[in-house]
Amino acid sequence: HTVWYKYFNPSWMLAPYYAGTSDASMISSLPLTGTGLGANPANGFAFAWLDRRFGPDHHAHNIAVLHGKLPTTPATYAGEAKMEGGTQLRYWSICNSQGLTSGKTTGPCLADEEVPINAKRDYTIVLSLPQDRPSNATDRCGVAWMNYGTAGDGYTRPDSTLLIMRNLSTTAHPAFRNAIQNIATPATVKSTMGAYLPAVTYTDAAQFEHAGCKASTR
């Protein structure tokens, strides 16, 4: 089960390390205000740890599959002369990063216009090592792909990776009630974001390929 956290401030990066340990009670004492590492009223971040040891492959060659709904964002990728208004967010991205111990918080990313979506704006993203990429994890099949990488958490867990999702709000982000910025407490991450919070499952390339180009259908 993948747990998503809102990035309230830098201290919240410690929450996953406390979870499931004798220090779990410390999570409730972490502050809910503050900024840092790019978070501000316009920028909201949610994060989760993944581990490719989870799944059917016993040699850590599993893949993580994300299903979610993409907020509307203005088209800018093709050099549009004017940014359209009326969208839910200004920008959306999801990145694959290391943890606090390495200090390297930037990794491979996908931006909003790089993610294939269906008519309902549902998307499927596959994270895997390059050699484990399913043949149907392609734009043609409606599936985005991210390189899981081998840097791990930058410390002692090469099979782990930190997934960071970014919401850059419009000038009135509360109008998009599912924005990360509207998460008021740690307990309301899922209830606030709803379908815009990706569900994560683990499988391997062979099983994912069984669906062919229908793999992106939820």
26 Cβ partners below 8 Å, 6+ apart? 14, 18
Confidence bin at 171 (pLDDT 50/70/90):
low
Average of per-residue pLDDT values in the chain = 88
Phi, psi of 180 (to 5 degrees): -55, -35
> pLDDT over 90 for what percent of the chain?
56
Q: Between β-strands 144-147 and 122-128, what pairing exists: parallel, antiparallel or unpaired?
A: parallel
Tell whether the model's pLDDT for residue 172 goes beyond 70: no
Tell whether the model's pLDDT for residue 71 goes beyond 90: yes
The per-residue pLDDT for range 23-38, each reduced to its tens digit, is 888 888 888 877 666 7
* Cβ atoms within 10 Å, residue 143: 22
The per-residue pLDDT for range 151-161, each reduced to its tens digit, is 888 788 889 99
| Rounded Cα distance, 60 and 52, in Å | 5
Measure Cα distances from 28 to 10, 98, 104, 118, 197 in Å: 15, 24, 27, 39, 22
| Residue 166 DSSP SS3 | strand
Residue 48 carries which side chain, given as an amino acid letter? Answer: A
| Rounded Cα distance, 54 and 134, in Å | 17
Stretch among 27-36, 72-81, 97-106, 119-128 having the lowest mean pLDDT = 97-106
Predicted TM-score (pTM) of the model is: 0.91
| Residue 128 parent element (H or E) | strand 122-128
The arithmetic mean of pLDDT across residues 142-163, rounded, is 90
The per-residue pLDDT for range 186-214, each reduced to its tens digit, is 999 999 999 999 999 999 999 999 988 86
The arithmetic mean of pLDDT across residues 114-140, rounded, is 96
Tokens of 201: 């499952």
- Of 200, 160, 7, 171, the residue nearest 74 (C-alpha): 171
Q: How far apart are the first and last CA of the chain?
A: 18
